[in-house]
Structure 1
Amino acid sequence: MAARRVSGLLFLLLRGCVVLAVELTTININPEVQEYQRVELSCIIKNSNTNDPRIEWKKTRNNETTYVYFENNIQGDLKGRAEVQSQSSLVIYNTSRTDSGTYRCEVAAVDDHKNLAEIIINLTVKVKPVTPQCRVPKSVPVGKSAILYCQEKEGYPNSVYRWYRNTDALPDDSKTSPKFANSSFTANANTGTLVFSSVNKGDMGMYYCVARNSAGTARCESQSLEVYDLNIAGIVGGILVVVVVLALITVGMCCAYRKGYFSTSSGGSGQSYKNSAKPDAMNYLRSNDEGDFRHKSSFVI
């Protein structure tokens, strides 16, 4: 008899705990939406011990948690473009790329903080790529390497890239396709680079790149790549001409120097002259009374 009473009491306690508990569910735990469109983060109360529960929404992005819905009001940058519907679901209008993040719906009785239930929802706002920036060298000599670049930074999730020559999509490795077996390029879909290890005449054409993610695509304008032959004979001949000209200039300067054209003698002639010396020990004096006379340096008055 006592055992039955104890078991009955335990049953009532367990039943009371179930009644007091809050139970939540959601339609989609990982919703995805295009930027500027509407999305609903469903948080459905299946069971609660109150008709007026306390409902809060929080958002975590870049390791920072902020309130989205608190004390029956929309908070932060969602204010004016979001609302809570169907008692606890969060609806966002005109979504922005900054709305991507982890959202937590918390529901509890107003005066009961112990019986708290929550649901985690991961929202992804997809952004279409913008026109990628492409760089194609205008001309490359045969046998030389070349790199083509393609990148855009606005799309979310991150874009992948595909290069085209004329109207043909290029594979990641030219050796994997018989059509491009004569080429020597590799393409990186994540970085957007197209690398030629050794270009040939068959690589000439109009090149463009397409950026793509789950939100859409975008492409850059076509750019021409020219491949020309390297004139080895002309280059060698030009070098020889320069060497000969330098040699002739050097010989001419040496000859001119030997003939004295570069000396710094007076009078502008190629020869240097010494000034004539006056007779030794002879000086000329002049007086008003006697006129000119001369004397030797040893003369003593």
Structure 2
Amino acid sequence: MRRLGCFPLVPPRALAVEERKNNNSKKKALKILVKAATGEGSCPRARACRGGACLGAQGRAIWRAGCCETPAAEAAVSWPVSRETQGGPDVGAGSLAGAQITSETKEVPENQPADIPCSAFRSQSSNPRIEWKFQKGSSLVLFYYGGQLTEPYKTRVRFSPTVIHFATVTRADTGKYICEVVGDNSQIAKSEVNLIVQVPPSKPVAHVPTSATIGSKALLRCTETDASPPPTFQWYKNSMLMPADPKTSLTFKNSSYSLDSTTGVLTFEPVSSFDTGDYYCEASNNVGSPQRSEAIHMEASEVNVGGIVAAVVVLLMVLALVAFGVWFAYTRGFFSSDTTSKKVIYSQPSHRSEGEFKQTSSFLV
């Protein structure tokens, strides 16, 4: 069975005739296609039908994303189409075979050598162009490009067409390695390897409240940041493993809790008197030995109504004493601002003759 592909592009002269019949938007798109047919501009013949993205419609084809990677032309340009059988020769030098993608996962212990194969490479290709990319999360960087390794891999990696060899890998090397090969007749093949660098878990940390009120909700968390692949978690109470469903155990059937082994969250809802005890968690990922946290005691207790009432009474007594003290000070005049001052005027005695009596000084109060 044969499948449709892309014929050589329409000659520039024929496109020029069609250009005069179209509206302004289509004229612009056809000019781009003329450049593609002549090997000019940003759309060389080798990329005109990348990925076999041209779909036939009555002997014509519509422009699809991936062909020439020119957004302005996606909705306006058409050309004749046909396809050869998979693996057969392409009709026209401007077409590419549909990209073949293989994927696999590889796990390697940390600080050990690792080989990342390029399954897309075929030895029958005379002069293939090979590119390696490294993807981690939303980050994508070129690993091998233009016939050479990029920094910082030059000193850590040995390249060959079929494989890249790491002398040692670290946890930072965990991610997706993408190999793209453009072979004869511009055929594209791609292979992906998800590398997981195995790292044993470190000692986890248990977050446990020291007290919890009976009837309320209590949340216990277990965290660990180093393990690769990510660990699973288990919880222990008084050195006894807690099952995922408490109703399946005679020891924990009186407790009401839920346990998420992926996130390490243990939720009591509601807390009961049976939940008092020493808790610790364990992290494991089948790499190395499981690691346990320190044990922390949680006390489940009733609401202390008597203590609350006593505290309220003491507070009211203190407020009453303060009010009485203010009233007493006010009645004694400690808060009065009226004060009287006295001014004394003294006059010096004047000279007088002997035997003469006369009042010569006085005090005025």
Separation in structure 2 between the aligned mates of residue 74 and residue 284 of structure 1, nearest angstrom? 112
Task: Give the equivalent residue in structure 1 for 2:142.
Answer: 66
How many angstroms does 1:260 deviate by? Answer: 4.1
Q: Deviations over 1:259-301 (max 9, x none)?
A: 54654676xxxxxx8979xxxxxx999532265348xxxxxxx
- TM-fit CA distance, 1:58: 0.5
Distance 1:168 1:69, change over 3 A: farther
The normalised TM-score by structure 1 is 0.65
> Retained in 1: the 8 A contact 2:102–2:190?
no
1:36 alignment partner AA: N
The alignment's TM-score, normalised by the length of structure 2, stands at: 0.56
- 2:102–2:191 contact (8 Å) kept in structure 1: no
Specify the alignment match of 1:102 in structure 2.
177
Alpha carbons of structure 1 residues 91 and 70: separation in structure 2 relative to 1, 3 Å: farther
Q: What residue is the counterpart of 2:315 in the other structure? A: 242
- 1:124: Cα distance to partner? 1.9
Shift of 1:59: 1.6
CA distance in 2, matches of 1:198, 1:292: 105
**Which among 145, 151, 167 is matched to residue 223 of structure 2?**
151
SS at match of 2:219: strand
Preserved contact between residue 279 and residue 295 of structure 2 (Cα < 8 Å): yes
SS in 2 for 1:250: helix
Give structure 2 stretches of 5+ with no counterpart: 1-86, 91-99, 361-365
Change in CA separation of 1:263 and 1:125 when aligned onto 2, cut-off 3 Å:
same
Task: In structure 1, list runs of 5 or more residues that go unmatched.
Answer: 1-14, 19-24, 267-272, 277-282, 295-301
Q: Map 1:160-179; keep pairs closer than 5 Å.
A: 160-172=232-244, 174=246, 179=251
Does 1:139 pair with 2:205? Answer: no
Q: Match for residue 107 of structure 2?
A: 32
Q: Please state how far the C-alpha of 1:80 moved relative to its aligned partner.
A: 3.0
Out of 138, 148, 152, the position equivalent to 1:77 is 152
Distance 1:292 1:150, change over 3 A: farther
In structure 2, relative to structure 1, the CA distance for the partners of 1:16 and 1:250 (3 Å cut) is closer
**Shift in CA distance, 293/35, structure 1 to aligned 2, threshold 3 Å:** same
The reply on whether 1:128 has 2:223 as its aligned counterpart is: no
How does 1:245-260 map onto structure 2 within 5 Å? 245-260=318-333
Is the contact made by 1:210 and 1:220 (CA closer than 8 Å) also made in structure 2? yes
Q: Give the structure with the larger strand fraction.
A: 1
Identity over aligned pairs, percent: 28
Indicate how the Cα distance of structure 1 residues 215 and 261 shifts in structure 2: closer, same or farther if over 3 A, else same: same
Q: How far apart, CA to CA, are the structure 2 residues paired with 1:93 and 1:26?
A: 27
Offset, 1:130: 2.6
Match of 2:62 in 1: none
Q: Verify the 8 A CA contact 1:96 1:125 in the aligned structure 2.
A: no
Please say if residues 201 and 228 of structure 1, whose CA atoms lie closer than 8 Å, have aligned partners that are also in contact: yes
In the TM superposition, residue 155 of structure 1 has moved relative to its aligned partner by 2.8
Q: Which of structures 1 and 2 has the bigger CA Rg?
A: 1
Look up the match of 2:257. 185
Instruction: Measure how far apart 1:144 and its partner are.
Output: 4.1
Stretch moving more, 26-35 or 208-217? 26-35
**Mapping 1:20-59, distance limit 5 Å:** 29-43=104-118, 48=124, 50=126, 53-54=127-128, 56-59=130-133
